[in-house]
Amino acid sequence: MKVNDIMDINKIRKDFYVLNNNDLAYLDNAASTLKPKQVIDAVTYYYEKLGVNIHRGVYRLSYEATDLYEKARQKVAELLNCQFEEAVFTRGASNALNLIALSYGMNHIEEGDEIITSELEHHSSMLPWQNVARAKKAKLVYVPLNEENKITVENFKKVLSNKTKVVALNYISNAMGYMTPVEEIIKLAHEKNAIVILDAAQAVPHIPVNVKALDCDFLAFSGHKMCGPTGIGVLYGKYNLLKEMEPIEFGGDMIDYVGLNEVTYKDPPYKFETGTPIIASAIGLGRAIDYIKAIGFKDIMKHERMLRDELIDKMSQIKGITIHNPNTDTGIISFNINGVHPHDAASVFDEENVAIRAGHHCAQPLMHCLNEIATIRASVYFYNTREDINRLVKAINKAKAFFENFM
């Protein structure tokens, strides 16, 4: 099967300046994706034609800026299948996950309560709850990972208890590309009256996510991992939860009435969007959502999985490398070249203009599970081609041969 059978990849690639201006195999999409010109144009439109603040301005430019900002929220709501009021703009997934912990967590967790998370988490999913657990003398409980370092329903059941108040897990692992069996975990957690927070930073850009069908309580993602600008992300929360939660930042725009000794806040989402929001980036995210939807998640998934299968097949034929997740569910592949430190390998890849990531991927507990200081991670998106895969394989072989000289 050819790449072009799934989508018109060459046409898509023309939208990305970075691909046009560089001879680059860009395979670091789990860290950040490239931005198409449509998104850049949407951001530029705001700065060139509007450039003013939103919400309270009683003049045309402000009205149009407000309209674009709120339309972007509507696009997020349609993407996730949630209500308009349930989509809070944040600085990114990390910011959203911290907001939940600082507001919901600090007000609901008590001494002796249990919070379930895992060693597969990005630090941003796990550390906000480590902080809450420390402050409230609650217990942080880790789902035991299976032999492939996956989260399973069976192992989740082992740690779920009547003391469980919060479950904070990734939807797709940023370091291993595994899909967590969230549907069943959410059902089980709700039976114990625990709430479930999903770190969906690696999910929303790649698969259709329906928060109503999932019935998760909170979910977070970042714009820049789905062709949007940096500095914008989304917190989804069930309306009744958002409504009773306290804001964590106070100031402009989030208030209803302010007296000298009392204040009332706006309803969600506005009570969590203090100060002038990230207007241009929100508008850019809205445009990115349109762009991705036009390609379609069905084709995106099909294309990414085709590239993954090809990469794993080719890498399996290279001796002397360890693939940590040969059964990855997505286009994220984590590996090491035996005997070569990932940063040494990364410099060879850099010389070959193959952009990958070498490091702990903000998942140090997982590195301990893998018994590695760091790994090399390649991650694909819809604009990647078989040529990119071939260039990565060539770079792996080159790195191997290069360092074997010194052994």
Partner 1 sequence: MSNLENLYRQVIMDHYKNPRNKGLKDSEEYYSVHLKNPTCGDDLTIQIKVEDNKITEVYHDGTGCSISMSAASVMSETIMGMNLEEAKKVINNYVEMVKGEEFDEEMFMGDAIVYQGVSQFPARFKCATIAWKALDKAISNHENCSHRHDEEKIEVK
Binding positions for partner 1, rule: CB under 8 A:
341-344, 346-348, 350-351, 358-360, 367, 373-374, 402-403, 406-407
Question: Of 256 and 350, which CB lies nearer to partner 1 in the complex structure?
Answer: 350
Smallest distance, Å, CB 71 to partner 1? 36
Smallest distance, Å, CB 345 to partner 1? 9
Q: Closest by alpha carbon to 152, among 138, 127, 122, 173?
A: 173
Per the DSSP assignment, residues forming a β-bridge with 88 are: 235
| Rounded distance between C-alpha atoms, residue 67 and residue 83, angstroms | 17
| Rounded distance between C-alpha atoms, residue 358 and residue 402, angstroms | 18
> 311-340: buried (b, 16+ CB within 10 Å) or exposed (e) per residue?
bbebbeeeeebebbbeebbbbbbbbbbeeb
**Do residues 3 and 385 touch, judged by C-beta distance below 8 A?**
yes
**Do residues 374 and 342 touch, judged by C-beta distance below 8 A?**
yes
| Rounded distance between C-alpha atoms, residue 367 and residue 151, angstroms | 15
Question: Of 43 and 126, which CB lies nearer to partner 1 in the complex structure?
Answer: 126
Which stretches of 17-105 are DSSP H helices? 17-21, 37-45, 60-80, 93-100
Smallest distance, Å, CB 96 to partner 1? 22
Share in percent of the chain as helix, strand, coil (round to 5):
45, 15, 35
Question: Of 148 and 350, which CB lies nearer to partner 1 in the complex structure?
Answer: 350
Q: Classify 168 as helix, strand or coil.
A: strand
Q: Any idea which residues carry the catalytic annotation?
A: 362
Smallest distance, Å, CB 211 to partner 1? 33
Question: Of 154 and 350, which CB lies nearer to partner 1 in the complex structure?
Answer: 350
Supply the DSSP string of 251-303, one letter for each residue: STTSEEEE-SS-EEEPPTTGGG--SS--HHHHHHHHHHHHHHHHH-HHHHHHH
Per the DSSP assignment, residues forming a β-bridge with 263 are: 258
Question: Of 280 and 354, which CB lies nearer to partner 1 in the complex structure?
Answer: 354
The DSSP call for residue 373 is S
239 burial type by CB count under 10 A (0-12 exposed, 13-18 middle, 19+ buried)? middle
Largest CA distance in the chain: 74
Smallest distance, Å, CB 257 to partner 1? 43
Question: Of 14 and 341, which CB lies nearer to partner 1 in the complex structure?
Answer: 341
Cα separations in angstroms, 145 against 34, 69, 317, 377: 32, 41, 27, 20
Question: Of 213 and 401, which CB lies nearer to partner 1 in the complex structure?
Answer: 401
Question: Of 303 and 361, which CB lies nearer to partner 1 in the complex structure?
Answer: 361
250 burial type by CB count under 10 A (0-12 exposed, 13-18 middle, 19+ buried)? middle
